[in-house]
Structure 1
């Protein structure tokens, strides 16, 4: 069963009762004119085990330590947002798998040639997925990107990822004057940033559930980045976010601000339909298959990481 994503953008009280997440509105809680029966009816509960991601996007949210503990024990990712409503923090469980120590050792012992081969597979799939998205959005066949994907060598020493990215971003939002893909760039960079933050949390959660260290990447190795492996594994999934943002941009005439309506659309990312191993699957479920296959590569059971393909 796919886990739910809960977004809280207003003041709210989050507490725990009988293993359930209890959601209360402070205005209702503090009201002296409402009878107790109506206050209780205003409460909402959610089963903790059904939740995969929680997003806290308001400075007046109150959450108990009991809720945080219960969420983490059930492998939930907890995201906090800054004053601009952009995800700024991510909390994950320390123990996501019963054989975690063993899996850590196998990940740490992974050879350089293996990691280079895994990166090759990752970039090949990413470029092919980008080519498909570009073809769907521009209605043109992107043959050069298919060639670049086939030419990616172990470790991508020719940096074909960057070449493909430059071509891809130039065409995907060609109707937006001055657009370049930059974190602080003009819209729809804000939508892309938000979508990638959600995707990163999904992948980091999947890695922890598979008993892997999100910090230790197969390619990314920034000393200040606590989620290098998540950033590696999310690469082939990025085009799914790009396509969604492209659709939202066309529907909303290049939105300047990240409205609640747009956030609601971006929060559907975990449920986006992808094809993996020849079967249709929600993106969050597919990520679990990808991270499980990555562990099999680390322990020697396989040499191929399983990714979705557009």
Structure 2
């Protein structure tokens, strides 16, 4: 599994040479990167050219290629095409999940998201996470009381201030959206690699969304992005700079705790998806494995 993320922010030509990514910039700078080392490539500049041969190699090596819009925010992702050896079986098991199974899985996801939000909040406001921990214990199957939504309203106000909303066009939201998009792409990459259909979610079911399942699984990891943004928030600035984006992409290598121990986010995503696979395969209860943010 790849371990390196690459952000292309300057005009460049990307191709493949000797089974490596060859980067050639207009300034004359060149660099090569082994394809097996890569996990995510972000094309941030509109002046990057990429060969079809490299696109094919990226897919073969299970690398997520992320494109960006004119505002330099991720808007698309190229994923490998069903590389799993038993993709049909994985899809059949996924689609066969019952409504109660989906509701129990969503309950588990929301509980861990609330706990992680509580841990994140306690870093900046000791004791403020108690409400979220309490809410996590009260989540029922399917979260019919929408404790996720209630927790989010409390959490974001405490974390970023009473005037903050997710609809604002500011640096905080730009950073949050960028960080979420990077992790979402990594989750989608892993889901496809394990034979899942990302469009079919456990809770999310937007017909215009090709990554509903990724949007389910990202929930416990969102507080990891929130914490970095809160720690590095820059007032009076709306646009992200290259250093901001690089820092957010590095979250893929931040440590979290899983049942198997402490590992980086990329590895944790693999464990998350594998646990979902076991959940789909078994009729008996199987524990889902979600990341725990380290305090």
Give yes or no for TM over 0.5. yes
**Is the 8 Å Cα contact of residues 2 and 63 (structure 2) preserved in structure 1?**
no
Q: Distance in 1 between matches of 2:285 and 2:273?
A: 13
1:295 counterpart = 2:277:
yes
Among candidates 77, 81, 84, match of residue 71 of structure 2: 84
| Structure (1 or 2) with the larger CA radius of gyration | 1
- Equivalent residues in 2 for 1:174-253, closer than 5 Å: 174=161, 178-182=163-167, 184-249=168-233, 252-253=234-235
- Equivalent residues in 2 for 1:231-310, closer than 5 Å: 231-249=215-233, 252-253=234-235, 255-277=237-259, 279-300=261-282, 303-310=286-293
1:5 counterpart = 2:30:
no
**Is the 8 Å Cα contact of residues 6 and 42 (structure 2) preserved in structure 1?**
yes
Q: Distance in 2 between matches of 1:198 and 1:280?
A: 21
Cα RMSD of the aligned pairs, angstroms, is 1.5
| CA gap 1:218/1:290 in 2 versus in 1, 3 angstroms | same
Report the CA distance between 1:3 and its aligned residue: 1.7
**What's 1:37 paired with?**
none
Q: Distance in 2 between matches of 1:124 and 1:255?
A: 34
- Number of matched pairs: 292
SS at match of 2:292: coil
1:108 counterpart = 2:91:
no
**What's 1:65 paired with?**
52
SS at match of 2:114: helix
Report the CA distance between 1:141 and its aligned residue: 4.1
Report the CA distance between 1:220 and its aligned residue: 0.3
Structure 1 unaligned regions, length at least 5: 29-41
TM-score, structure 2 as length reference: 0.95
TM-score, structure 1 as length reference: 0.91
**Is the 8 Å Cα contact of residues 169 and 238 (structure 2) preserved in structure 1?**
no
Report the CA distance between 1:255 and its aligned residue: 3.9
